[in-house]
Structure 1
Amino acid sequence: MGECGRNLHVEAELGSDGVRTKACKRWVWRRLAVGALWLTAVLGVAGRADAQENRATQAADSDEIIVTAAKSPQRLSDAPFSVLVLTSDALDRARIQDFEDLTTIAPSLTITRTSQPANTSIAIRGIGTYAFTIAAEPSVAVIIDGVSQSSQAAALTSLIDVAQVEVLRGPQNSLFGEAASAGVVIITTAPVSDTLTGRLDVLRTDDGEERIEAMLSGPLSDDLGFRIAGGFSEYRGGLYNLATRNWVNGQIDVNIRARLEWRPDAHTVFAITPHWTRTDGTCCTAAETFLPVGASTGGAATGPDRIAPEVFLEGITPAPDNRFVRMDVDPRGDAEDAGAALHFEREGPGFVFTSITSFNEYRLEDLQDTDSTAIDFSLYQSVSPSGGSANGGRFDITSATQELRINSAGSGPWQFVAGLYASETRSRRYFVRGSNALDDYNTTTPVGQPGAPPVPASLPTTNGTTYSRYLAHAEAVNYAIFGQVDYAVSDRLDLFAGLRINQEETSYRFDDLVNGVVFGSPRCSSASPSGTPISTCSDETAVTGRVGARYRPSPDLMVFGHYSRGGKGVAYDLTSILTTRTPTSATSAYPGRPLADVVASMQPVPAESIDNFEIGFRGAFWNDALSLSVTAFHMDIENLQAQSRDLLLAQNILNSVGRVTSEGVEAELTLQLDRLTVQAAGAYVRAIIDEFPNASCYRGQSPAEGCVGGVQDLSGRTLFNAPEWNFAVNAQYDHPVGAGATVFLTVGYRWQSDVMFSLLQDPASRQSSFGIADLALGVRTDRWRATAFVHNAFDTSHSLNAGRSAHINNPPGAFATNWRPARDADRYWGMRLTYQF
């Protein structure tokens, strides 16, 4: 492969190897582009008019739901794996408008919001990402129109012009790569229409949410068509900041998606699909729900003169339903996502060739109030800048992908899909923990002492957090060959097997901008500045796959079983831990060396692996009026990547913590009568930590509560935000009233059991079980629709996150708590108007 293929790496902007690095990138993508064009040309010539019927058209003739989870069109009734399919009608009935809304009707899917969008964890069956670094892979892949999103945060936006969503549960690495170790969410937008069509959709609620979406599609000529959709949405947020007089935890989205499609003949399709999204968010902060007597705020910055609640919580009464905060910095998560994909499909004699080339850029600027108050700490510490402390910075993620795939076509006993895949993802994180303006916090000259050296100032926090500023670069280059074969042994029995061989090259550079220390320069360096052995590059080959069988005892019933092997790659902890220059103790592996260097020597964190077993059935009953699917599963996860306590270093670091088991049952039901449609889904998921002996303690945990020597044993405890029981049901009754109009009533209800929002099992993070009911009443014709709706009809309060307040000093035996209310934590109502032609 040569030096470029072996040692691809992104250098910092001041790196000396930048020219060679850029040349290496051009070498890789030039080879991929030439290969794609060559294969496209060869297969284009091979296509002919007598090619066999396209499988997608063949499947669609059955009027069944078609899924793409196997990288080829397949009837849902034939899918031998656990998948929940949500059509555009199902999404509309459940009023699914944002990606996060999917959790309300997909029981095995959960989303955990933390301090800012990039730290959001998307999980399936309780398995998600527990490491918030740019050099760790997600566990759940999000695929939009065949292209994997390079960052989960990029998916946290409005869903516009969506035709179908598929939630695949369990490892999907063999077809979708290492980012799909726990599952995949596939989003397919609507296709280009044969005639000119359009739609305008407007929504408004009584609590400050506004949306407007528009779509236009149709032919430009006999062989050229287009589709463009755009949307604007705004929600003010659920908390009010008394200091800035702004609502927070809200979001403004602007989305544009387009598709230009050219069909030069009956067997060839070219399409380009650009997109652009702008998100201005005020996520995420929490409001105080309880404050013990004697609590205060302020740390080393205020000395013994702690600040009383009547000062830092002026105008706020902590209570379970408190919606007020007082901070001099509003949280911010402003993102921009832009990219495009080029799709090519050519039908030949017995095969369909597909090429998907994509490029994407994602940027996020974040800011959070570290001290969580509006106090001017310079009044207590003269060397401090005015105001308080904040942390944040910027994420820049650039990705490019190329997939070449061949699918069989026709009705023979052998069906296959085979392909090549390559991707390059470059991530950059600039981070500051300092003043409110993200300026230096420890370069202030003491008052009255001109010319004196700067005095390090303590940040105004209660947990000893120190000033830091760093720039981290990470790169991951993947090459893969994959395939799956299905063989029809008989009319009733099918066998299938899939395999993926994936080579991943990862590397990083970390610049500690405060101490002037650099890890990873020169690239792939094997020693830190102190001479400690480290590794800043990794090159690993992983083999994943699946094998199983599908059997039809009758035309309306299919049973299946399969085993799949998955996992995700190594990780690097590129966080502020690498800015800590405190010498380590004599018990560490390198006594007296800086802590950051010793932590770097322990990386990369080993890869995760998952073994998954599934059995289930799909059936159609009552002349296809009722469809039912049930899947039982058992997953074993080894080397779970999560924060743990290193006893020798006495630090919380990213590490492999042991083994996790997730097992349970998932079920879906659809009932379609003349006027009544019912869709329900439920899951029982038991996600248990089998081994986690050196977990960190939660804040304030006592020895009586299991914290000994700064660690606790979490073996046998549940994963965070993983409800054991979860179900959702939506029903709609249609009643024609004449003149082409139909009145409809929609009722929805979802319920989940209690969860812990903290992996460390903080009892203050417990969310009790709850249920939410939604109602809608409307009237529609072929052209227009008007809907009035009530969400959370019984006003059931619930949260997105909860826990102990880190910025508050607690008296012995007590602790302050906070919560982050969910979007629908209160009842609200609204109107929606739709016009289409």
Structure 2
Amino acid sequence: MKKSTSRSFNPGKGQQVGAGARALWAGAGVGALLLGMAASPAIADEAPADASGLQEIVVTATRRPERLDQVPIAVSVLSGDVAERRILNDIQDISTAVPALNFRTGASNKDRNIFVRGIGTITTSPGVEPSVSTVVDGVVLARPGQATLDLLDIDHVEVLRGPQGTLFGKNATAGVINIVSKDPTEEAHGYVDAAYLSGGDEYRVKAGVSGALVPGKLTGLISAMTSGYDGNVTNKATGDTVNGYTHSGARTKLRFTPNDDVTVTVAADYLFSRDSVPTGVFAGTTQTAYPTNAVTNSAPLAASLAAAGIHPSAYNTEVSANTNSGTKDNNGGIAATVDWNLNGYTLTSVTAYRKWQNIQSQDYDQLSVLSTGLPNVVDNGYLLFSQTSEELRLASPKGGLIDYVTGVYYMHAVDTEVYQRAVTQVSGGGTLSNNGTSRFGTTGDNYAAFGEANINITPDFRGIAGVRVVHDDLDYHFQRVASSATAVTGIQPSYASNGSTGTTDYADRLGLQWDVDRDVSTYFTYSRGYMGPAYNVFFNMTSTAALALKPETSDSYEVGVKAKLLGGRLQANLAGYITNFDNYQANFSDTVAGAIVTRLINAGQVSTKGVEADFTYRPIDNLTLTQSLAWTQARVDHFQCPAGAASSCDIDGQPLPFAPDWKLDSAASYTVPLSSGLKLVLDTDYRWQSKVQYQLTQTPDTIQGAYGIWNAGVTLASEDQGWRVTGLVKNLLDTHYSSYLARGNLAGVVRWVPRDGSRYWGVALHKDF
């Protein structure tokens, strides 16, 4: 089969509070589940610090280096080495290893979103910010689509669960993904990685060098990658294999230390990606209504798919579209970080610029044959986004009565988009064509002053107090020109509008922490999260979307215990929490002349509560066992139905999308020393989750049932010669599932086919020099 290519699109020239008290719900511990004979650690790479203990993990969750077991925040940590061994290449992959983290896939990066504890923002509008913030080396990524980039030269990834608005850049009502890249080394070092994976001829090649350019003063690092994957879906109409990608990119970092008190780090990265993800693979021709369970069958859809030889099912991996859907992304940026030691105080400046270009072409109707009731719809979109940010913060020395981090922050973001839709439908024995072009964009400014302090009442007991005062300004402009004066399938009539809004609000954090002894620490915190006002600016925008949405706020209570037990061989982290959200910003499904569209609304009140447990255990020196588990109850408390909505809009008490009640990741790694400096490492990991509803509308046909995925691998390595060879098998039991389910844009139900939706094998090589 031929490899697919995505079509490009030339858009032409575009216009370039008070916190209420709520009951605390705390959790109890969960026993560790040890699966497999041996596995790689799911959370962190736990090499022993000595003959009896685990390595101490250092994180920057409080904007300064601290031991993971002393940070009063629920944090999951995934090391770059573990991500490499488990072939976890991006945030979507990492979400499989962190139970509190979930990911919404889509045909384009614009459609993909991150969820923490069941909370995330689903929208493609440039006038909405994410409730989960992604931060790369101290730089906040303002749009969710920017966060889908491949990870290159990653030291570790921290997943901070719950509101983190006081210290982390912009706004984070649900959590933060904090990505920390590797620093250049003083000693010269280079590496090459290569991997091949079956089931679509997937390949990955990475290489990098690091070392001193001016000994003792200037070090540098540069690395590059390229990867490709044919895909695992067949387009029978074009003969192409789709649902694949080609990616290439590079990262560089320079670190200048003119003296002992000043460090200047300049980092730049760039990633090009071309994805051929279809806008869904048909899983059925019927639709089941909520809450009546009434089933409606689309005879035209069934006939069209049958004529194309497509058999819709939960296992279908074939489409018949007259064009291959695809996207092209250019994503990159540069940042300068200056750290200045002032008699024990550290002054840090982070100045950054990032740019993201997204071009997409999508077969909206997902069919190759034009028939009555099923028009042909083709979409082309262009996005250009840029952001400039500055953060200046001061960290005091640790210890004493009070230690703190304080600072100011600013971000300026500009978005310009052009979106075209062409519709051809059967009419009066012939065909009728209509089209629409929307040109729109936003400009946003975010200003903040923040600080968080520890009040050290005794050496073992401290109070925590933090606040972030935020001001947001948001402007939008919109113009759509349509060929029809009335609504046609998927196209509203011509419309133009613009608007602006501004809000001043705050996020805060209060808490207590008690170090029971050297190995046990407990904490209790209250946090208020804030996410700014929003506009639902998208292709089919109408006057109903011209009013700004209110800011989303949250109140969160969390209690946690972190302990080292059994002489340091067992690390256990437990957290219980309850978080309530007001003015929750969510997409509500609607239709335009028979085609599904969505509109963003303040949906009312939702909540999430649960228990999370992370265990790492080294029973013997060569064996590491890890277990991470999340029990999450993310629910709609009161849904604010928009005017004119059907009675099915009443979804109070129902689960939020992308929030399985149970999710776990279990892993182990066993090392067998061999002669001549060789070692054999046996790896396996298993993840499982309960059923998950993918749609806020609670449609019964968009629920993925419970499933588990088991992976295993074996590595032969030479520490002396710096090489290793790994063989692995993904999805050993050949378990099939859908990474996303949705209503078809015109009829039926469609599924997204994950990379590990069936069994495949691979081999990976690594060489240091």
Q: TM-score normalised to the size of structure 1?
A: 0.79
Distance 1:309 1:218, change over 3 A: closer
Q: How does 1:484-503 map to 2 (within 5 A)?
A: 484-503=452-471
Of 754, 763, 769, which residue of structure 2 is paired with 1:831? 763
* Aligned residues of 1:93 and 1:730 also touching (Cα < 8 A): no
Distance 1:132 1:821 in 2: 21
- For structure 2, which runs of at least 5 residues remain unmatched after alignment? 1-11, 17-48, 287-295, 486-493
1:181, distance to aligned residue in structure 2 (A): 1.2
Tell me, yes or no, if structure 1 residue 550 matches structure 2 residue 542: no
1:177 deviation in Å?
A: 3.9
Indicate conservation of the 8 Å contact 2:331/2:357, yes or no. yes
Match of 2:560 among 594, 616, 635: 616
Residue 598 of structure 1: how far off its partner (Å): 4.8
> Residues of 2 paired with 1:406 and 1:804: CA distance?
50
2:638 aligned residue = 691
CA distances 1:655-701 after superposition (whole Å, capped 9, x unpaired)? 2111001000111111134101122211000000001152799xxxx
Question: What is the match of residue 792 of structure 1?
Answer: 731
Selected match of 1:634 from 578, 584, 600: 578
Amino acid at match of 1:486: N
Query: Which has more radius of gyration?
Result: 1
Q: CA deviation at 1:516?
A: 12
Superimposed CA distance per residue, residues 534-582 of structure 1 (whole angstroms, 9 cap, x where no aligned partner): 871111111111010110121110000000000211111112333xxxx
Q: Which residue of 2 is the match for residue 359 of structure 1? A: 353
Tell me if 1:428 matches 2:422.
no
Q: Assess, with a 3 A threshold, how the Cα gap between structure 1 residues 539 and 96 changes in structure 2: closer, same or farther.
A: same
Q: Show the counterpart of 1:724.
A: 661
1:597 & 1:711 partners in 2: Cα distance?
A: 24
Q: CA deviation at 1:154?
A: 1.8
Task: Say whether 1:470 aligns with 2:442.
Answer: no
Cα distance in structure 1, aligned partners of 2:235 and 2:65:
50
- For the residues of structure 2 that align with 1:209 and 1:569, how far apart are their CA atoms? 41
Deviation at 1:130, TM superposition (A): 2.7
One-letter amino acid of the counterpart of residue 417, structure 1: V
Partner of 1:457: 432
Asked if structure 1 preserves the Cα contact closer than 8 Å seen for 2:613 and 2:630, the reply is yes
TM-fit CA distance, 1:307: 6.0
Letter in 1 for 2:317: R
- When residues 487 and 294 of structure 1 are mapped into structure 2, their CA distance, relative to the original with a 3 A threshold, is closer
Counterpart position of 1:771: 708
Q: 1:341 aligned to 335, 339, 347, which one?
A: 335
Quickly say closer, same or farther: Cα 1:803–1:477, change in 2 above 3 A. closer
Give the distance between the partners of 2:752 and 2:598, measured in 1 at CA.
25
Percent identity at matched positions? 27
Are 2:246 and 2:274, in contact at CA under 8 Å, matched by a contact in 1?
yes
Q: For residues 39-95 of structure 1, give each alpha carbon's deviation from its aligned partner in whole angstroms, at most 9, with x where no partner exists.
A: xxxxxxxxxxxxxxxxxxxx9xx9621111111111111100111111233324433
1:154 aligned counterpart, secondary structure: helix
Q: Partner residue of 1:751? A: 688
Compute the displacement of 1:414 (Å).
2.1
Give 1:95's aligned residue. 87
What one-letter code is carried by the residue in structure 2 that aligns with 1:87? S
Whether the 8 Å contact between 1:359 and 1:401 is mirrored in structure 2 is yes
Matched residue SS, 1:577: coil
1:227 aligned to 2:202? no
Counterpart residue number, 2:208: 215
Give 1 or 2: higher helix fraction. Answer: 1
1:593 maps to which residue? none
- 2:568 and 2:551 map into 1 onto residues whose CA distance is 45
Is 1:111 the equivalent of 2:103? yes
* Deviation of the 1:623 alpha carbon: 1.7
Q: Give the drift of 1:249.
A: 1.6
Q: Counterparts in 2 of 1:29-108, with a 5 A limit?
A: 64-108=56-100
Query: What's the CA shift string for 1:704-752, capped at 9, x where partnerless?
Result: xxxx946431000000111100010111000101111000100100100
- The offset of 1:512, in angstroms, is 1.6
Tell me if the contact between 1:67 and 1:74 (Cα under 8 Å) persists in the aligned partners. Answer: yes
Contact 1:729–1:748 (8 Å) recurs in 2: yes
Post-superposition shift, 1:225?
Answer: 0.7
Going from structure 1 to structure 2, the CA distance change for 1:192 and 1:76 (only over 3 Å counts) comes to same
Q: Closer, same or farther in 2 for the Cα pair 1:646/1:104, shift >3 Å?
A: closer
3-state SS of the aligned residue for 1:104? coil
Secondary structure in structure 2 of the residue aligned to 1:623: helix
User: In the alignment, is the contact (CA less than 8 A) between 2:446 and 2:472 conserved in 1?
Assistant: yes
Instruction: Give runs of aligned pairs for residues 350-429 of structure 1, distance below 5 A.
Output: 350-375=344-369, 388-429=376-417
> What per-residue deviation string (whole Å, max 9, x for no partner) do you get for residues 180-229 of structure 1?
11100011111111100011110001112100011110001121110111
- Residues 1:397 and 1:126: Cα distance change in structure 2 (over 3 Å): same
Instruction: Tell me if structure 2 keeps the 8 A contact 1:696–1:711.
Output: no
Q: Give the match's secondary structure for 2:443.
A: strand
Q: Is the 8 A contact 1:550 1:559 kept in 2?
A: yes
Give the conservation status (yes or no) of the 8 Å contact 2:139–2:169: no
Instruction: Identify the match of residue 319 of structure 2 among 314, 319, 325.
Output: 325
Indicate yes or no: 2:612 matched with 1:676. Answer: no
Q: Secondary structure at the match of 1:175?
A: coil
**One-letter code of the match for 1:345?**
D
For the residue of structure 2 that corresponds to 1:690, the secondary structure is: strand
Alpha-carbon distance in structure 2 between the residues aligned to 1:199 and 1:84: 27
**From 160, 168, 173, the counterpart of 2:160:** 168
- Between the two structures, name the one with larger relative contact order (CA 8 Å, sep ≥ 6): 2
RMSD of aligned Cα (Å): 3.0
Shift of 1:178: 4.1
Runs of 5+ in structure 1 lacking a partner?
A: 1-11, 19-58, 299-305, 436-440, 448-454, 460-466, 518-528, 579-595, 698-707, 809-815
**Corresponding position of 2:608:** 662
In 2, Cα distance between equivalents of 1:117 and 1:297: 31
2:475 aligned residue = 507
Aligned pairs for 1:796-815 within 5 A: 796-808=735-747
| AA at the equivalent of 2:727 | A
1:797–1:696 distance in 2 versus 1, CA, 3 Å? farther
Distance in 2 separating the partners of 1:109 and 1:637: 18
- 8 Å Cα contact 2:129-2:142 kept in structure 1: no
Change (3 A) 1:619 1:474: same
User: Which stretch has the larger CA shift, 569-578 or 559-568?
Assistant: 569-578
Whole-angstrom CA distance in 1 between matches of 2:247 and 2:171: 26
Are the aligned partners of 1:639 and 1:658 in contact in 2 as well (CA < 8 Å)? yes
CA distance in 1, matches of 2:575, 2:116: 14
Deviation at 1:781, TM superposition (A): 1.2
For residue 676 of structure 2, the aligned residue among 694, 715, 739 is 739
Give the number of the structure whose residues are more often strand, by fraction. Answer: 2
The one-letter amino acid of 2:369's match is: I
Question: How far has the Cα of 1:105 moved from its partner?
Answer: 1.0
Which position in structure 1 is the counterpart of 2:300? 297
CA-to-aligned-CA distance 1:479-507 (integer Å, 9 cap, x gap): 11111111211121011111101111110
> Which position in structure 2 is the counterpart of 1:129?
121
Q: CA deviation at 1:456?
A: 10
**Partners of 2:453 and 2:466 within 8 A in 1:** yes
Residue 477 of structure 2 contacts residue 498 of structure 2 at CA under 8 Å; is this kept in 1? no
1:310 aligns with 2:306: yes
Distance change in 2, residues 1:516/1:546 (3 Å): farther
Contact 2:223–2:250 (CA<8 Å) still a contact in 1? yes
